[in-house]
Chains A and B, each alone.
Chain A
């Protein structure tokens, strides 16, 4: 960075040390967050590239771009890379790593070296995953369903399983670090009822990571053993039960959706309160709904198995429980809306993403209720309706939250402002591109187009062309922030400590923060989101 040449510049975490060693051996949570930022962005663009290939193949009804086998590998690798190497680490490992200690007034996470270890585990798993991708890929679907994955697939199932197994430990250690930090490292006066909702949601996320990920680990390990040593645990020919695999797999992989969406909700609570300039409406309800989502999230997994042959009675119970999960999610949506009501709303880039999040997440959530209904689920199982539904949650929800959060805290992370006009343009492109890509898929699914096929009947072509066109707009919307974020690191306007006039301890230290976060450990004597006492900042644009 050019600015570092000026010797009079204040020392902060970015200019304290230089050189590759100072990054690869750092134990500073803020630097580790940036290591994650770079690495998950890398995997995001790989996963995105695979998605574009899928959309290109589906531009025409015939299978003309890739073979059927290649197509199977494309959607499998897209799913595995996006879920395990982008979405699950995205907000917790980048924004959470950066902000959890700052928001509670701590100098670092409780276990800085374990934090670095978790990044290395992520990288190790990632390298193995890249190896799988480059040497032939996997064709089981991201779900590894047995007995296809254990007895029939001729692709690199073992390597992919081990890659995700290793990556899982990275997720577990991050969650462990957060829980211990939130319990043991809070600044004096920072009681649980004064915690920002960002922290509450990350606490709930960490609990899911801690209780869910080990089950996925042992499940994948059993699949690996079954392939490598010919065990028969999931082999129906030998009395094994493939449904047991599905139960164990979804016991983690359904709550995994909440690992992705809860941190995005964490971002929303901060952004909405800041740009409506009001205390969040119903603080206790929003905080407790995070915990409720974590708890209920563990009790709904079998709604992925309604057509797999489970008993009708267990299906009924899982259907009811799946409806129940909608309650805490709706509480959050209503509370954000009520926060904005009669607030002093400004339409900055993070707020645009927040609006996008609330709308798209609501769409994704409501269509989730369709799928929780036993009768309707049979009709749309394994169709594009399901694809559209979970992309509204994962991309419309989690990725919008992630991007909004990156914009909101970019001044704190880099010490520079991003170009606001470009930011708004990109947010708009993402919103339009996303809806154009995925809304037609609801209709396709309802009309009966199944997922995971490389060909389709010609009458589906118009909607597929719309979807592919949307995906290119979406791609531009994702590339733009990468370009202007990099640009702003050198040419962006210097940010002061609190450019948004936001509440929260992270805004009370300088931008970028010093290595130990605070010159003096803060003492908290106020509630979170005390916006009535904070003047609006000049940085927030008032034109419009």
Chain B
């Protein structure tokens, strides 16, 4: 980036040459992230649409298949993610107040919560492999129809549930991994003391991304784990 030396003298080093002032730059970055999150909604929306259609078509199979997911583990993971969102929000506050050490601590905590989530998710996936609930030639699903103990549910339709389960949680996990990478960079920048009360846009927009990925999980958890649990 070829900054003109004049601009560097007049403003902070973070201001890129093509912006008039820091406020314009911050507004542009923030708008850019919001629009990007809009595209992410459309991306996940394709899968939510498929989920909706198949859940309406194969409700009983979806309910039975959903019960094989571990409710305690899913709940714990949801709590872990909500905690990570809290630490992100606090880190933005810490940046606004200029508390350098606190920023690093909170960002590291966020990263650890994120890794914990991925670890627990990996354990859950492993369980599915053990139980042969992974779509493909080795898939087997032998459960009775609820209310009709003599009838079996159609394993092919349960397989569609697990196809969507793996596609949706897999895409969510991929976004978590990208988020962990982003927060690794943010921790490095915070550790080098790059953030000031005047300039902490990266934490803000990185935080926006993190919150978005959390919100996707807030929708995934009831849709995948909580079908027909009240019976």
Which residues of A are interface residues toward B (Cβ below 8 A)?
27, 106-114, 172, 176-177, 179-181, 183-185, 210-215, 217-219, 221-222, 225, 229-233, 237-241, 244, 248, 515-516, 521
B193 contacts chain A at the CB level, 8 A cutoff: no
- The secondary-structure label for the interface of chain B is helix
Beyond the given pairs A172-B39, A218-B43, 7 more chain A to chain B contacts, judged by CB atoms under 8 angstroms and listed by A's residue number, are: A113-B1, A185-B18, A185-B24, A214-B46, A231-B167, A239-B54, A239-B58
> Which residues does chain A contribute within 8 Å of B58, judged by CB atoms?
239
Interface string of B108-126 (1 = CB under 8 A from A): 0000000000000000000
Q: Which of B18, B42, B43, B49 meets A112, CB within 8 Å?
A: B18
Report if B140 contacts A (CB, 8 A).
Answer: no
CB proximity of B156 to chain A, nearest CB, Å: 4
The answer to whether A211 and B28 have CB atoms under 8 Å apart is: no
Do A219 and B46 touch across chains, with their CB atoms under 8 A apart? yes
Say yes or no: B47 contacts A239, CB within 8 Å.
no
Interface centre among B53, B157, B167 (most CB of A within 10 A): B167
Known: A112-B1, A176-B35, A215-B43. A231 touches B28 (CB 8 A): no
B137 at the interface (CB under 8 A from A): yes
Question: Which A residues touch B43, using CB under 8 A?
Answer: 214-215, 217-218
CB contact under 8 A between A232 and B35, given known A215-B46, A248-B46:
no
Q: Total number of A-B contacts with CB less than 8 angstroms?
A: 119
Q: How far is the CB of B152 from chain A (nearest CB, A)?
A: 15
Residues of A close to B17: CB separation below 8 A: 107-108, 516
- How many B residues are at the interface, by size bracket? 35 or more
Q: Knowing A111-B28, A184-B24, A231-B166 are in contact, say whether A214-B42 is a contact too (CB < 8 A).
A: yes
Residue numbers in A under 8 Å from B24 (CB-CB): 184-185
Complexed CA–CA distance, A210 and B164 (Å): 24
Spell out B's residues near A (CB within 8 Å).
Answer: 1-2, 4, 16-18, 20, 24, 27-28, 31-32, 35-36, 38-40, 42-47, 49-50, 53-54, 57-58, 135-137, 154, 156-157, 159-160, 163-164, 166-167, 171
B52 CB, min distance to chain A CBs, angstroms: 10
Residue of A nearest to B164 (CB): A233
Shortest CB–CB separation between residue B22 and chain A, in angstroms? 13
Asked if B39 and A222 sit within 8 Å, CB to CB, the answer is no
| A226 to B157 Cα, complex, angstroms | 15
20 A-B pairs in the complex with CB atoms less than 8 angstroms apart: A107-B17, A179-B35, A180-B32, A213-B39, A215-B42, A215-B43, A218-B44, A218-B46, A218-B171, A231-B166, A233-B163, A233-B167, A237-B156, A239-B57, A239-B157, A239-B160, A241-B54, A244-B50, A248-B46, A521-B20
From B31, B42, B54, B136, name the one whose CB has the most chain A CB atoms within 10 angstroms.
Answer: B42
Cβ–Cβ < 8 Å partners of A239 in chain B: 54, 57-58, 154, 156-157, 160
| Nearest-Cβ distance from residue B37 to partner chain A, whole angstroms | 11
Nearest CB of chain A from residue B128's CB, rounded to whole Å: 13
Known: A110-B28, A180-B31, A244-B53. A232 touches B45 (CB 8 A): no
B136 shortest CB reach to chain A, Å: 4
Known contacts A184-B24, A239-B58, A516-B18: A211-B167 contact under CB 8 Å: no
Docked CA distance A185–B32 (Å): 12
B54 partner residues in chain A, CB cutoff 8 A: 233, 239, 241
Question: A457 to B199, alpha carbons, bound, how many Å?
Answer: 71
Q: List the A residue with the shortest CB-CB distance to B49.
A: A248
Q: Do A176 and B32 touch (CB < 8 A)?
A: yes
Contact between chains at B49 and A230 (CB < 8 Å): no
Which residues of A sit under 8 angstroms from B163, Cβ to Cβ? 231-233
